Homo-oligomer: A and B are copies of this chain.
Amino acid sequence: MKQPTTLAQAYQQAVYPLGGHGRRNVQVLKDALEGVDGNLDSDMYGKGAVIEAFEARMARELGKPSAVFFPSGTMAQQIALRIWCDEAEMAKVAYHPLSHLEIHEEDGLKKLHRIETVLLADKERLITLADVQEMEDVACLLLELPQREIGGELPPFEELAAISAHCRERGIKLHLDGARLWEILPHYEKSASEICALFDSVYVSFYKGIGGVVGAILAGSEDFAAQSKVWKRRHGGDLISLYPYILSAEYYFDLRASKMSAYYAQAKELAAHYNGCRAVSTRPAVPVSNMFHVHVRLPKERLDQALIAVCEETGVALSPYTNATSDSTSAFEVSIGDRYAGVPPAKIEEAFRALDEKLKRAEEQTESPLR
């Protein structure tokens, strides 16, 4: 057998990759379309049964008067913030320094909409009620639940409610970046609409925990939704046909929305395995959704070698990548999906025994022992 040379290759060839639902390939779309009648008419520029029925269903699900399907969250969220800024006649919003809008969108909010941003909290922690109370005046505050870039952390629900009440009192709109909203319902033990009730506008995604092809919903009042459709056209997102994304979003929502409790339980189980290994800690220590980050007190190259060795020895692939977080530390993200339940528990235990051993050896080989 040819030896895998990179972590990504090892992961791709492994018998038991632990993360996600499976490969993102054309079969994902084919499966979603298989049961759909070919005679079903396309949506046409945001109109038609396919899109209107799904939007109505998601409006009910999120407890909002209206919902609009978007090709991406990047588009949906910039538009939400623009609407609130125009309404307040103030081109300023607040969010976390590691918000998707701040680090993954090439500054679209600033370059396209000329909206100024106020960064709350810092890169190491969640936004708190105190941050919001001390915040300067803005048109809108965006909260991301869970805060993905710090491992998927969540504030207590009571703090969230207090932040919401504070914003309402000050006339500041509250927008939810709910890219992973479905994933946190089991931890909060709330329905989506109970959480969304705290927010004036809400974005949710269909290709993270849901595992669809592409797609987002932006929900809010009737007037907000109507304005968002105008902006969708301006952005070039009012496509003549969005049905490939809508049909797959609905198919995988039906398949997986009910599995979020299982993913959450499995994430806690898996995080405990990681935290049992030397030089490893997860963030959060106990996950609050299907995701968490794994931090390792070893240089990236050492961690990669260990993960490849575990994969070769046990067939279990823990991650397709790692990032160096400093010269002597590294990290990666874990998201639980359908794959995890298909891996025999004994295999997982074997993999973590092997990982602990490899990390021990890696520590010994590293010039300055890390633990």
A36 to B73, CA, bound (A): 28
Q: Please indicate the chain B residues that have their CB under 8 angstroms from the CB of A24 in the complex.
A: 41-42, 44, 240-241
Q: Does A168 contact B (CB under 8 A)?
A: no
A238: B residues at CB distance < 8 A: 72, 74
Closest to A110 in B: B234
Cβ A214 vs Cβ B241 within 8 A: yes
Closest to A70 in B: B236
Answer yes or no: A207 CB below 8 A from chain B CBs: yes
Contacts of A107 in B (CB 8 A): 234
Could you say which of A24, A44, A113 has the most chain B C-beta atoms within 10 Å of its C-beta? A24
List, in ascending order, chain B residues with CB within 8 A of A71's CB. Answer: 71, 236-237, 239
A213 to B43, CA, bound (A): 11
Chain B positions within 8 Å of A75 at CB level: 235-237
- Please tell me if A233 contacts chain B, counting CB pairs below 8 Å: yes
Question: Is A33 in contact with B29, judged by CB distance below 8 angstroms?
Answer: yes
Q: Which of A61-69, A243-251, A292-300, A357-365 forms part of the interface with chain B?
A: A243-251
User: How far does the Cβ of A13 sit from chain B's closest Cβ, in whole Å?
Assistant: 14
Q: Mark A202-236, 1 if CB is under 8 A from B, else 0.
A: 00000100000110000000000000001101111
Across the interface, which residues of B come within 8 angstroms of A74, CB to CB? 233, 235-236, 238
Q: Does A3 contact B (CB under 8 A)?
A: no
Q: Does A169 reach chain B (CB closer than 8 Å)?
A: no
Which residues of B have CB within 8 Å of A245?
244
> Which of A44, A74, A241 is most buried by chain B, counting CB atoms within 10 A of its CB?
A241
Instruction: Answer yes or no: A28 CB below 8 A from chain B CBs.
Output: yes
By the criterion CB–CB under 8 Å, are A30 and B38 in contact? yes
A27 interface contact, C-beta 8 A: yes
Contact present for B33 and A233 (CB under 8 Å): no
A234 in contact with B112 (CB, 8 Å)? yes
Task: Say whether, besides A25-B38, A26-B37, A239-B72, A244 and B213 are in contact (CB < 8 Å).
Answer: yes
**Given A26-B247, A105-B236, A207-B240, 20 extra CB contacts under 8 A:** A24-B44, A24-B240, A26-B33, A26-B38, A26-B42, A26-B243, A29-B244, A30-B33, A71-B71, A71-B236, A73-B236, A74-B235, A75-B237, A76-B236, A78-B236, A105-B233, A106-B230, A108-B236, A112-B234, A213-B244
Residues of A participating in the B interface, judged by any CB pair closer than 8 Å: 23-30, 33, 36-42, 44, 70-76, 78, 105-108, 111-113, 207, 213-214, 230-231, 233-245, 247
A-B contact pairs, 9 of them (CB 8 A): A26-B42, A71-B237, A72-B238, A74-B233, A74-B235, A112-B112, A235-B236, A235-B237, A236-B237
